[in-house]
Structures are given as C-alpha cells and as structure tokens.
Structure 1
Amino acid sequence: MRPAQVTRSTQTVKTRPWGTQTRHQASTQTTHFHPLVFSPDATLISPKEYSPEIHYDLHMVVMLQKAVRGWLARRRLHSLRKEKALLSRASNNEVGTTLKSSHSTTSSSAGESPQPGIGQQHKQWRESIPMTELYHRLENWRKKQVSQINTTMSGKARRRALVALLDKETELLRSLEAHRALRSARRRNAAIARFLHEVSRAQVWEVSGEAGGEVEVETPETQPVRNLASLATALQQDASTQSRLQQLNALATTVGSHFKPYLVMICQREFYFTIDLEFSGDRENSKTSALYSGSGKPVVEPTVVEHFHPTRGNVARSVKTAQELISLARRGTHLLARGTTDARLRGLRKRLHTLVISFLHQVQGRESTVVAPRTIRAAGGKPVLAYGRHS
C-alpha cells in the first residue's frame, strides 16, 4: 500500500476510505478557512443582549439619527409656535378689551365718544410700564391665585399647588429683576452718551457789551476733552490689538500732556492763571517770567502754560485720577505687548472707562460766566492771554 499522497486538485488524502482535509503544510494548502468551514479553535460565547448596531455602517446610523431627531425637533417647534400664536391672540384680545373699556369709561365721563386710531392704541400699549406697577400687578396675581387655591383645594393637593405657585412667583420675580437691571443699564448708558456729547461740544460764552450774546468758543482744553470723550466710547467696543494699543497710548498721552501737571489757580487782581510748577533750576536759562503785583514785588516765577484747570472739585483729586489713568493705560499697553488678548482686558477697559467719565466730571467746564479776554504783559515776558471776570 502506497503512503498517503496529497494532490493539487483535491487537497485530500486519496488512500483513505473517506475524504478529509489535510493538515500537511504543502504549497497547495489554503491560508485561511472557508466561511462555510468551522474554525477548529473553540470560541466561548457569553450570553448577552443582542445588539445589531455592529452590523450597520456607522455613517448610515448617524444619518438615520439626524433624520429622526430633526423630525422630532420640527414637530416640537411646530407645537411651540402654535402655542405662542394662541397665547398672543389671547393677550391681544385681552389688551383690546382693556383699552376699549378704559376708553369707554373716559369718553362717558367726558361726555364724548371719539374712536381712537390704531396708532394711538399701539402707542399706548408699547409705552414702558413703571417697575412699581409691574410689582403691584405681580402681587395682585399672587393674591388671586392663593385665594383660588384655598377655595378649590385642600390637603396635600393644596400644599402641592402652593409650592408650585411659590416656584412660579420666584421665577417671575427673577425675570422682573433682570428686566429692572436691563432698564437701569440702558438709562445709565444713555446718560453717559449724553454727557460725552455735551462735554465734546464747544464752550458757550456770554459776551457783554455792544456785541453781546452767546458765542461758541474753541478753547485749548476743548480738543483734549473731546479726545477723552471719543476714547471713553472706544473703550467700550471690541477692537484689534493694534487699535487697542493706539487707543491706550492716546489716552496716556492726552492725560499726561494736558492734565498731568499740577494745576494751580492763582488769583491776582481777579485774573486766573494755570501754571506749571515744574520748571528748571537755572533761572537765567529757564523760560520763566515774573508776575508782579501792584506794589512791584514778584509774586511767583512760574512757566505760564495753557493747561485746563478744573472748574469744580479739588485739584488733588483730579491729579490723582490722572495718575491712575496713566498707570492703568500703561499697564494695559504692557499686557497687550506680552500677548494678552483684548478680551481678557475687559475689566481693565471697564475701569478705564469709569475713570475717564469721573475725570471728565471733575475737569469739564460748563459754567456760563461773563468772560472777556484781556492781555496782561508780565515783566520781561511775552503777552499772556488771561481771562478776567467782570463784577
């Protein structure tokens, strides 16, 4: 009997009485098992819940989920819109009946019955309601709900209804507080905008004499105040890093060059001067001039410069505010130069905006006084333009 022989055609042992797949490592052996042939290695399958998601394509599963969730969202949106339309229709009917009843009462008391127009009703409905009236309406609604619950319910049902009413009242109070804060912010922003617009305008002087009246005068302090007002508005808006650097540098430069020196008002013969006390020690080379009184004795040797002096408040407070403005502006410049984003400087910008408003409140001059320009020649110096007040 010949030994077992493996052929290429069948890959089976022909000398056996039955055909079996060979395990001989021959060149004709297959590299993997056929799908219809079981693997010789036993696999232990633990019992678990069947999940068919592994048999689906992940992309198709995502597409199906998007379609289903979109359909659910559209159905929810349709129901919400329907509820909103019903609520608005009911509120409009209620407002219309209220306006009609109020108009009927006023017309009956006056003895005439004019028909109000649509624009008048709309204006009467859209005008803002005072917060006290809103709180009063909320209190009346709460009392009405409490009385209704007490008359219709008892026991645990009444307790649950009162708890739900308390939650609803808390939510309404929170909404009213948010509305009040929004109103306050709007009023504050409008007041700040009006103030900045007023200080940016030219000063109005009353001129006496034959050509009397009011005239608008562009004084040396008009442009710095106008620049500060524009910078205060710009600090509240978003800007790029380069623009913010320019704004901070302009703020420090404006305050430092026009408001930083110590401001002193000297009253001599009813004339007001603004002087800079930081002059050089060499009196011969320094550009100082002596201001003489009526007796001929020098009063002070200042360098007369045209700086804006505060018209209300004290000088020390204005100088302190100016120093804080300059230090904060330089701090913001250093932070931006280090790579800090403008969004992270929101607190610094808000503080600068508040300081600019306070500083303008301290130094802005809006006094309507009778002012006439006069020329005063200091001893050994050039003519200095001063302003005297008529008695």
Structure 2
Amino acid sequence: MIGDDEALRKIRADFDETIQSEKLCLDQKYFPGKAVQQDYHMPDVITVRVQRDSDSFQDVVVKIERPTYCKPFLGGFKNRITGVEFHNAGSQTIRKKQPDKGIQLFCRETQTAFEINKTQQTKNTTSTQMAKVGLYVSNMTDKLINPGKYLTAKEYHERRLEAVIVLQTYFRRWHAINVVQNLREEKRLRLVWEAQEEVRRKKEKDEKLRKEQERRLNPKTREDFELLYHALELWRREETEWINTTLTGAERKAAFCGLLEKEAQLIAAIGRHKLNADEENQQRAILHFLNKCAQPKRWKAYDGKITEMDTQYTLHARELFEICRSISMNDIPKDERIDVLLTLRRTVKVPPDPLKLYKNVNFCHSCENYLPATEFPVPANCRTIGRCRLCCKLDNEARRRDAFLTYKLILENLRKSEADYQDDAEIVYLVQLQDLQYLIENIWGCRSALSACSDLYDLVMVRWDKHHEWSPWNTILLSRDEADAHLKLCNIQKAYEAAFIQRIKHKHIQAKTYFAQIPVMTSVLHRSDNQATAN
C-alpha cells in the first residue's frame, strides 16, 4: 500500500526489479457499490521469490519472451459469445521425441494396406460323395499326401537366393558365349578383310609393275620417256660402279667405251620410239583440240536442264575438224582428196592482225627462240624467266634423267584432297612440281614419317593438322593407309609421342625457312603467322 503523499521513486527497488501495482478506486461518487480494476499488462521482466530453505528466500529476475507469431488452433474449444479460444493440454505440450532406430520411416498412408474380409458364394454347386453302408466308392485313384517339412521365411529366402544365383550363372554363361561368338565373328571378318586388303595391295602392285613395264616397252607420253631415261641412268650408274670396283687400267677404259656405245644405242632406240610417239600424239592432240573447240556452249538452267548453243566460232571449228579428219584418211580416192584440199584452201585464212600473236612472248636463252609464256616452267622460287620446257626436257634427258611421274601423282592427289575440304585452300595451287620435289627429297627424305616406306607410288602428302589449310609447314608424308588413319585422329598431341611431334615440327621449320624466300609465299606465310599469334 502506498500512501497519498509518497512518491514512487522513494520506494526502495533494485535496477532489475519490476514493481507491480494495482490501483483500486473506491470512490462511491463515481462507482457506487463496486470496485473497479484497471486493465493488466504483462511486464517485460518479473521477479519471482523462490524458497531455498525453511527460513530463506531468494528473488529471481525472469524476462518474459513474447511470441512473434499467432499460435495455430490445434484443438480445444471456443466461446461463441466472447470469441475466446481455449486450447487443450495436448496441443500445448511438445510431443515426446521417439528414439532413432536407424530405420527410415514413412507416413502411415504409404505404409498401411487396408484389407477387407468379404465372404463369397461360388456359382457352381459342388458335392462330395462319401462311402457308406450300401455304397462303394473306389479309392484306386486316390493319393496319400503326407505333410512335408515346415519351411521358415529365412529358409524360403535362402532358396530364392540360390535360385537367383543359378539363373544369373546360366545368364552370364549365355552372355559370355554370345560375346565370345561376336569376338570370333569380328576376328574372322577382320582376317577376311586383311586377306582381301593383302590381295588388293598385291594386285595394285602387280598392276603398277605391269603398267611400268608396258610404259617402258611401248612409251607414248612424256612421263613414259622420263621413266625410260631414268631407268637408263640407273643402269648406267650400276655399270659404272661395277667397272670402277672390278676393272683397272686398259680394261677399265675399254669397258667404259663399250658402256658408252651401249648407252648411245639405247638413247637412239629411245629417240626412234619418241619420234613415232610424238607424231601419233601430235595428231591425236590436234583432233582433240579441234573436237573440243567444235563442242557447243553448254550451261545449266534453273530447272537443271542442260542448254546447248552453237556460235559462229564453234561452227567454224566443226568445219575445220571435219576437214582435218578427211585429210587424215588414207583410203579416199584422188578426186575426193583434191576436193578436200580445195575446201581447206578456201576455209583457212590469215588472222587480220598478226601482232596479236606476239603478246606474252618470252625469249629462251638456251635455244634462242621466242616462245609463248605458257612454254616456260615458272617455279614458285623463280624470279626470272629461264629456259623453255623443251630445253629443260632435253637437259634432263642428257644429264640428270630424273622421273617426275611420282611427284606429279603426289601433287595431283594432294590438290584433289584439298579440293574436297572446300575451305578455299590456295597454297597447294601455288606450289609447283619442282617445289614439291624439293620438299619430298630434301626435307622428308622420300620416306614415310611413320614407317619409313620409300615407295613413292604409295606415298601421299596430307595435312598435319586437318583443321588448318595445307602448307609446306603443315604437312606430313605418309603411306596411303597411314594417311587414312592419321586424318581420323581427333587429337594429334595425344596420338603421337612428344619426340615424334618434335621431329615433325623441326621439318616444318625447315620447310618454312626455305619457302619464306619465295616472294609469292611471303604474304601467305605472314598471314598464317599473324593468325597463329592471334589464336
């Protein structure tokens, strides 16, 4: 109780203590006959007096934690008049946590199966007949069934496991048999393929040898005569080496004189064959040229149809082609030949401007003739016009006697393979036959980089990195089978050893050093270096 003249601060209280007071108004003037109690608000801190012993007490400060959420209604009842909700004890008490048994439990809905017992009556009425006095029932077909051994659940599962193991054993055996049979079939097919490939390679080699023999016996083209002169040079070197190692003095000189006479006779025989072949080839080339000029102009329309059109030039070329064929015939009468010659005289005319023939004409310092620019071979590293093709050919037949047929085949295969990529490759068309010969002989040593195969007919040049354009510094010399396997590789760094890759890169550096001196290759080389630097 606080007096009317006492202040609240005069009352002794600790800092953490809370004083709870109730104010009662007993003024009968305003509230007659009853006492009014003001609303009560729970404080934040209360003091609880706890009895320690029979005569000792202790005051404990308790902080009130107010809920931050509205407690859901989990059971109880509600006063419909006042709207006050009363919760039951089960909803106010935390459930006792069950001990963890190490088994994953699920809800009841997924674990409970509802069973209903329902009796049914079968539609078919059956009966059993029993033996009795005056009725005999035979028991000849009856069977006596004895109860067997009781089977526990453990034994039942063990039997099932044994049966599963037996089934797995037979299945695995069947699967293993199928795998072995497939492997045997693949092996058989592989052996058949290898045998076919061996037969094919042997046939190709025999066909190549037969063609070379045919070319040497009946030479017709320039490459055939190159092979003859190359074989002649190889024979001369072998004979010269044999004479130098076995003979001395006068016998050696006599042997060299005999070798020179044999060489001269062979050259004369090759020359006679060459004259006959040149005459046939010239006549065939003229007819082919005239036939090509006499063909009408052709183009493909939008619907895929081929349209042909004759011009005044194709008609004139066709007339010349017919006259040339008539002149080449030997079994026509004299009168008809005279008519053909007169027709030829009327048809052939001199060009109105002879000076047009003197365009793009160069001077050959060897034979001292003025020839068209197409008669001069121009390698990629050449800066001036040298000798004509005929002089180069005569010099090769007289001195070196090299055969360029293999290099020509390698260059043709290379350009064909680069055209299949369809990535606008241009370096392969700048490299000439002499450049490819230098690349194969001096840098790659005329051998495969993998198997050291020296058969130039079986060697091809492909890209070292198939994702970049072919160039002398992005190539490798391999056999045909090795090239096919190389182009199927996805990662070169993982497929080859580091020493082999380093050796190939060294050859690429040599090729880049040589081709960097060629003017036409300089711009291409700078562009590839800039691209590599950017990457």
TM-score by length of 1: 0.32
TM-score by length of 2: 0.24
Which has the greater radius of gyration? 2
Determine which structure has greater relative contact order: mean sequence separation of CA pairs < 8 Å that are 6+ residues apart, divided by chain length.
1
